[in-house]
Amino acid sequence: MTALNEEQSSLAVSTGVGVETPFKRFLSDYKESSVAVLGAIGVGVVMFIALFGPWLAPTDPYDLAQVSVLDSRLTPGETMMSGATAWLGTDGAGRDMLSAMIYGMRISLGVGIGSGIIALMFGCSIGLIAAYCGGRVDTLIMRVVDIQLSFPAILVALILLAVWKVKPNDPGYYAIFKIIVALVVVQWAYYARTIRGSALVERRKEYVEAASSLALSDQRVLFRHLLPNCLAPIIVVGAIQTAHAISLEATLSFLGLGLPQTEPSLGKLIANGFEYVMSGKYWISVFPGIALLFMIMSINLVGDRLRDVLNPRLQK
């Protein structure tokens, strides 16, 4: 397979979503794997829950006036003081688990994808610049990446917590911003390293030389020619990193640095469940884990399939 073919097929995918033939081909390729179709359905369900959560959830678990410790640790199916049934039981603070998981999924997904996209855009730009410029720029960037990769997420989050002091009239989403910033700081380096690696290989290929010899601007060569050809590994890393961001947020919650106590994400619910693992109150620790597993499995099944479909080297 020649470089020219590769360029054509990748470009077709990256620019041709609206064009009928390649998109149809993509769809039929995708549908060949039944597991991936299940994954896509799963992603659809997760998206639906995330978008319409407040209308789906039986109660509002973030409204302190509606939650009472008197309802805490009810087993699945018991009735809460408000008269509603806690189908999946309640947690240690008296929140209905089902509602808390629906709301939490929204936040976790938002935090995972939000931080993932920002980190991806930032990391990819930096990584591409490193690979394209080479020389001192590359060295400098890669050493910064080294530092970043060894800097523990918990320390980043801790510093943010101590320095970024929230005032009482700040809106509630500041806390989520804070976590997203911490996760971006931690994640961008992975993207930068990955895309630099594949860009270094691509850079030596004929099509880039061809583009350069046509006197196209650096920017154009970088983003129109190099980037699309490095997309396959980025999609995989992206799907994994989104998953990673969500569990990282859970880990930060586990260490007491995550989202607010009264507005738990799915990750925070899992962290809360940690202390109930030995207690026999399985619903507090296991259900959020299953929900997270479902969410991340779906995203990654889709990611895996996209990688296979989009990877020109596997198309025969």
Partner 1 sequence: MSVFIIRRLMHAIVVIFVMSFLVFSGVFLVGNPADILIADDADQAEREQVIRDMGLDRPFYEQYWKFLVNAARGDLGDSFVFDEPALQLILERLPATMELAVAALLIAVVFGIPLGVWAGLKPDAIPSKIIMTGSILGFSLPTFWVGIMMMLLFAVILGWLPSTGRGDEITYVLGFPTSLGTFDGWAHVLLPATNLALFKLSLVIRLARAGTREVMHQDYVKFARAKGLTENRVVMVHVMKNILIPVVTVLGLEFGGLVAFSVVTETVFAWPGIGKLLIDSIGLLDRPVIVAYLMIIVFLFVILNLLVDIAYSVLDPRVRLQDVKA
Partner 2 sequence: MKVFRRLGLAAVVVTALTGPAMAADVTIGIRSEPSSMDPYFHNLGPNNGMIGQVFGRLVDFDSNQQIFGRLAESWKPINDTTWEFKLRKGVKFHDGSDFTADDVIYSFKRADGYTGGNSSFRIYTKGKTLMKIDDHTLHIMTEAPYPLMPNDLTTVMIMSSEAKGTGKPDVNMGIDTRDFNDGTATFGTGPYKFVEWKKGDRIVLEKFDGYKGPMPQPWDKVTFKFIKAEPARVAALLAGDVDMIDNVPTSDIDTLKKNANVALSQGVSNRVIYLHLDQQRDQSPFVTDKAGNPIDKNPLKDARVRKAISMMINRPAIVERVMEGVAIPAGQLLPAGFFGLSPTLKPDAYDVAGAKKLLAEAGWGDGFGLTIHGPNDRYINDAKIAEAIGQMLTAAGIPTKVVTMPKNVYFSRASKGGPDGTPEFSFVLVGWGSGTGEASSPLKSLLATHDPSKGMGASNRGRHSDPKVDSLIGQALATVDDTKRAALLAEATDIAIGENQGIIPLHYQVNTWATRKGLKYSPRTDERTTAYDLVPAK
Footprint of partner 2 on residues 18-77 (CB under 8 A)?
Answer: 64-65, 67-70, 72-73
Token pair of 52 as six digits:
């319409």
Q: Is the CB of residue 4 less than 8 Å from the CB of residue 207? A: yes
| Contact pick of 126, 221, 230, 257 for partner 2 (by CB under 8 A) | 257
C-alpha–C-alpha distance, residues 80 and 19, integer Å? 53
Q: Is the CB of residue 200 less than 8 Å from the CB of residue 174? A: no
CA 295 to chain CA mean position, Å: 10
Rounded to a whole number of angstroms, the minimum distance from the CB of residue 85 to partner 1 is: 27
Rounded to a whole number of angstroms, the minimum distance from the CB of residue 269 to partner 2 is: 14
- Select from partner 1, partner 2, none the partner in contact with residue 65, using the beta carbon and a kind-dependent cut-off of 5 to 8 Å: partner 2
As a whole number of Å, the CA-based R_g of the chain is: 23
Other CB atoms within a 10 A radius of the CB of residue 111 amount to: 26
- Select from partner 2, partner 1, none the partner in contact with residue 225, using the beta carbon and a kind-dependent cut-off of 5 to 8 Å: none
| Contact pick of 81, 255, 293, 314 for partner 2 (by CB under 8 A) | 255
Footprint of partner 1 on residues 81-140 (CB under 8 A)?
Answer: 134-136, 138-139
Rounded to a whole number of angstroms, the minimum distance from the CB of residue 315 to partner 1 is: 9
Q: How many residues are recorded in the chain?
A: 316
Question: Does 152 engage in binding with partner 2 (CB under 8 A)?
Answer: no
Question: Does 159 engage in binding with partner 1 (CB under 8 A)?
Answer: yes
Token pair of 114 as six digits:
């939000």
Q: Give the nearer residue to partner 2 in terms of CB position, either 52 or 173.
A: 173
Token pair of 300 as six digits:
């990654």
Question: Does 278 engage in binding with partner 2 (CB under 8 A)?
Answer: yes
* 89-to-70, 156, 247 alpha-carbon distances in Å: 13, 35, 23
Token pair of 83 as six digits:
């008269």
| Contact pick of 275, 290, 293, 314 for partner 2 (by CB under 8 A) | 275
Q: Which stretches within 32-134 are classed as H helix?
A: 34-56, 97-133
Q: Give the nearer residue to partner 1 in terms of CB position, either 106 or 244.
A: 244
Query: By CB under 8 A, which span of 23-31, 78-86, 155-163, 174-182 interacts with partner 1?
Result: 155-163
C-alpha–C-alpha distance, residues 188 and 182, integer Å? 11
| Contact pick of 296, 306, 309, 310 for partner 1 (by CB under 8 A) | 296
- Residues 6+ away with beta carbon under 8 Å from 132: 199, 203, 218, 221, 222, 226
Q: Give the CA angle between residues 292, 62, 278 to the nearest 5°.
A: 50
Question: Does 314 engage in binding with partner 1 (CB under 8 A)?
Answer: yes
Q: How many residues bind partner 1 (CB under 8 A)?
A: 51
Candidates 249, 233, 239, 246; CA nearest to 193 is: 233
Query: By CB under 8 A, which span of 44-52, 81-89, 158-166, 291-299 interacts with partner 2?
Result: 158-166
Helix or strand or coil: residue 274?
helix
Question: Does 276 engage in binding with partner 2 (CB under 8 A)?
Answer: yes
C-alpha–C-alpha distance, residues 205 and 252, integer Å? 42
Which positions touch partner 1 (CB under 8 A)?
Answer: 35, 134-136, 138-139, 142-143, 146-147, 149-152, 154-155, 158-159, 161-163, 200, 236, 240, 243-244, 247-248, 250-251, 254-255, 267, 270-271, 273-274, 277-278, 285, 289, 292-293, 296-297, 300-301, 304, 313-314, 316
Q: Which residues bind partner 2 (CB under 8 A)?
A: 64-65, 67-70, 72-73, 92-94, 158, 161-162, 165-169, 255-257, 260-262, 274-281
